Amino acid sequence: MIEVTGFRGKTVGVFGLARSGLSAIRSLKAGGASVFAWDDKESTRLMAAGEGAMTEPWERWPWAKMSALVLSPGVPLTHPQPHAIVRHAREAGAEVIGDVELFARTIRPPGQAKSAAPIIAVTGTNGKSTTTALIGHILQASGLDAQVGGNIGRPALDLAAPGPNTVYVLEVSSYQIDLAPGLVPDVALLTNLSPDHIDRHGSMAGYAAVKEKLLLQTATDGYVAVGVDDADSAVIYTKLAAHRGSRAVAVSVGKVLGRGVFVIDGKLYDSWDQPAAEIGDLKAATHLPGAHNWQNAALAYAALRRWLRDPRAIMQAITRFPGLAHRIEDVGRIGRTRFINDSKATNADAAARALACFSDIFWIAGGKPKEGGIADLEPYFARLRKAYLIGEAAEAFGRTLAGKVDVVQADTLERALHAAYADAQVSDAVEPVVLLSPASASFDQFRDFEHRGDMFREMVKAMIESQTPAVRTAGTA
Ligand code: UMA
């Protein structure tokens, strides 16, 4: 845990008491602050009280002496409109920040030239978590103490205090960037941009501007690496390269770059500050399948290449990466049928990445709909044997698929899984794939995408256990 000492003897409010809120309370209390806390849920208020916070409705907090409001990243800051507590804090003169800002001010106090330990920050619409975890894995393989957290699930302040070999690797969402104006990464990565969280940022331009902010905040002697395969990210890279020179590097999958890191047919090349050299074949990284994962691997390589200076060691660590839960996670097979958990695919763009990896797909999709639906997935419809639709998005998805793909309105994940497996096992596909890649948020039927993916994995495991050994392995070579 990282002690936040910058608010010693001061009063701070924490609103939203799930993972990041509770962690902020622990760190602030350890650093000597007096903490008021509130959440609309009673169960989390009890946990906050257990951590030593005073749990009173925020309207009754002593706003006149409140130094700061630490807001949970999911609580609206600007759009569709600021939450009432945000307006109240601003009127009272209390700054509104997040747990990542508390982390940033502790690891690199304002005005200090160097961080207590280097910070690598990863943002972008898709691929953030895999890239973050992969960077952590490469650093660990190189003997460094990689502390991996942020939006990936472990709150930044829960990470270990800095030691001589510590490197912090943070996944940072747009919500967290908005609340962390003092975060100064030593290396910052932008994976890619596609429409997401537009409700929270007003427009695509607003969303892209928040992501760009993180790159602009990067230390002047640090590096930025940007995936340039979409127009919005390419524009951001061009602007950064104009004033950062070789401290900005472009990353592409499919384009040969005169200066940058790129992937052609799965092969990773480095032409950052040297003639293009082949570094290795990413197809050997079996837990990083698909072009989108090649982008993640190329970004991780770019993030570390000037630090670790041993491209072969980086490549070797990439090929040994064990993969992440909920991202094209192989959760088992019954006979010929594979089961893949891609619950993290909460928008169409992310689902496209999984759909591109397989043919003969029995696709489970739906949940809380996101703007734009699944119309953009049409190029992948030919890969779908059937779609099993769940949750609030089911009807709209059904309309998009009508006449193009056979649809089962399954309502629940359990029904969808059983129907998909029943169809897959009698199909003529050589290797049918039952794929949960919902292209929707999970909140209509689950706590979060992890809960949705865990349920899927558990149900698949139960199905596998209930098979006779002969059925379990039939059809596997
Ligand atoms: N709450 C209220 N009143 C409100 C709104 C919320 O009381 O009006 C309370 C809720 O009751 C709840 C809490 O605030 O208790 C918010 O819970 P949360 O799950 O949103 O927050 P955390 O558990 O702290 O999770 C946050 C990130 N959540 C969001 O940004 C929405 C997690 O990212 C992150 O892993 C975690 O901090 C640790 O850093 C999740 C996420 O969905 C994975 N991120 C989005 C994404 O990836 O697209 C941005």
One-letter amino acid for residue 220 of the chain: T
Residue 452 pLDDT greater than 60, yes or no: yes
**Are 11-97 and 102-319 in the same CATH fold?**
no
Pick the atom of ligand 1 nearest to 20's CA: 24
Is the pLDDT at 473 greater than 70, yes or no? no
Q: Looking at residue 372, what is its pLDDT? A: 85
CB 367 within 8 A of CB 397: no
Q: Atom 13, ligand 1: which residue's CA is nearest?
A: 16
289 vs 151, which has greater pLDDT? 151
CA atoms within 13 A on the CB side of 84: 3
User: Pocket of ligand 1, candidates 43, 72, 199, 450: which has the most ligand atoms within 8 Å of its Cβ, to mutate?
Assistant: 72
CA of 406 to the centre of ligand 1 (A): 36
Quick check: 315 pLDDT over 80?
Answer: yes
Residue 181 burial class via C-beta count within 10 angstroms: exposed 0-12, middle 13-18, buried 19 and up: middle
Indicate the class that CATH gives domain 329-474: alpha beta
Tell me the C-alpha distance between 31 and 254, whole Å.
Answer: 49
- Is 60 exceeded by the pLDDT of residue 278? yes
Cα 74 to ligand 1 centroid, rounded to whole Å? 5
Query: Average pLDDT of the chain?
Result: 95
- Concatenating the DSSP letter of every residue in 213-224 gives HHHHTS-TTSEE
Q: At what angle do helices 128-141 and 291-308 cross, to 10 degrees?
A: 40
Nearest CA to ligand 1 atom 4: 75
Average pLDDT over residues 215-234: 97
Closest residue by Cα to atom 37, ligand 1, is 20
Ligand 1, residue 448: give the atom nearest the CA. Answer: 42
Tell me how far the alpha carbon of residue 350 lies from the centroid of ligand 1, in angstroms: 20
Find the 148 Cα to ligand 1 centroid distance in Å: 18
Q: Is the pTM for the entire model greater than 0.85?
A: yes
The domain ranges of the chain are: 11-97, 102-319, 329-474
* Domain 11-97: which CATH number of 3.40.50.300, 3.40.50.720, 3.60.20.10, 3.40.140.10: 3.40.50.720
> Which residues neighbour 438 within 8 Å (Cβ) at sequence distance 6 or greater?
342, 343, 345, 346, 351, 364, 365, 366, 367, 390, 391, 452
Residues contacting 76, CB < 8 A, separation 6+: 82, 83, 86, 200
Superfamily name and number for 102-319: Mur-like, catalytic domain (3.40.1190.10)
Say how many Å lie between the CA of residue 81 and the centre of ligand 1: 17
Q: Whose Cα sits closest to atom 17 in ligand 1?
A: 18
Question: For a pocket test of ligand 1, which of 17, 19, 79, 368 has the largest count of ligand atoms closer than 8 A to its C-beta?
Answer: 19
The tens digit of pLDDT for each residue in 157-192 reads 999 999 999 999 999 999 999 999 999 999 999 999
Three-state DSSP class for 363? strand
Residues 389 and 357: beta-carbon distance below 8 Å: no
Cα(389) to ligand 1 centroid in Å equals: 26
Q: What residues form DSSP beta bridges with 334?
A: 337
- Ligand 1, atom 21, lies closest to the CA of 18
**Looking at ligand 1, which atom is closest to the CA of residue 38?**
7
Which pLDDT band holds residue 476 (cuts at 50, 70, 90)?
low
- CA–CA distance from 226 to each of 121, 212, 229 (Å)? 12, 10, 9
Closest approach atom of ligand 1 to CA 23: 24
**For residue 259, what is the DSSP state?**
S
Please state, in angstroms and rounded to a whole number, the distance separating the CA atoms of residues 396 and 374: 9
Burial class of residue 197 in the structure, from the number of CB atoms within 10 Å of its CB (0-12 exposed, 13-18 middle, 19+ buried): middle
441-454 mean pLDDT: 96
Q: Which residues pair with 226 in a beta bridge?
A: 190, 250
Closest CA to 440 of 477, 392, 400: 392
Q: Are 18 and 152 in contact (CB under 8 A)?
A: no
Whether residue 56 is predicted with pLDDT greater than 80 in this model: the reply is: yes
| pLDDT tier for residue 347 given thresholds of 50, 70 and 90 | very high
Cα–ligand 1 centroid distance for 448 (angstroms): 9
- Ligand 1 pocket mutation, candidates 23, 173, 174, 201, criterion most atoms within 8 A of CB: 173
What burial class does residue 112 get, using C-beta atoms within 10 Å of its C-beta: 0-12 exposed, 13-18 middle, 19+ buried?
exposed
Which of 15-19, 25-29, 116-120, 321-325 bottoms out in mean pLDDT, i.e. has the lowest?
Answer: 321-325
| 169 C-alpha to ligand 1 centroid (Å) | 19
Pocket of ligand 1 (CB under 6 A): 16-21, 39-41, 44, 72-75, 83, 150-151, 153, 155, 173, 175
Report how far ligand 1's centroid is from the alpha carbon of 71 (Å).
Answer: 10
In the predicted structure, residue 199 carries a pLDDT above the cut 90: no
Query: What is the distance in A from the centroid of ligand 1 to the CA of 330?
Result: 27
What's the pLDDT score for residue 475? 61
Question: What residue has token string 């395969």?
Answer: 229
Span 131-150, average pLDDT: 98
What band does 112 get if pLDDT is binned at 50, 70 and 90? Answer: confident
State which ligand 1 atom lies nearest to the alpha carbon of 44.
Answer: 15
Tell me the percentage of the chain whose pLDDT exceeds 70: 99
d(CA 386, CA 394): 14
Q: Which of 36, 14, 38 is nearest to 99 (CA)?
A: 14
Query: Which two structure tokens, joined as six digits, stand for 413?
Result: 């994940």
Q: Which residue's CA is the closest to the ligand 1 atom numbered 45?
A: 173
Q: Which tens digits make up the pLDDT trace of 329-345?
A: 999 999 999 999 999 99
Q: CA distances (Å), 81 to each of 76, 128, 193, 222, in order?
A: 7, 27, 23, 35
Measure Cα distances from 389 to 72, 338, 362, 372, 435 in Å: 32, 19, 11, 17, 12
Q: Quick one: average pLDDT of 230-243?
A: 97
Question: Ligand 1 centroid to 451 CA: how many Å?
Answer: 14
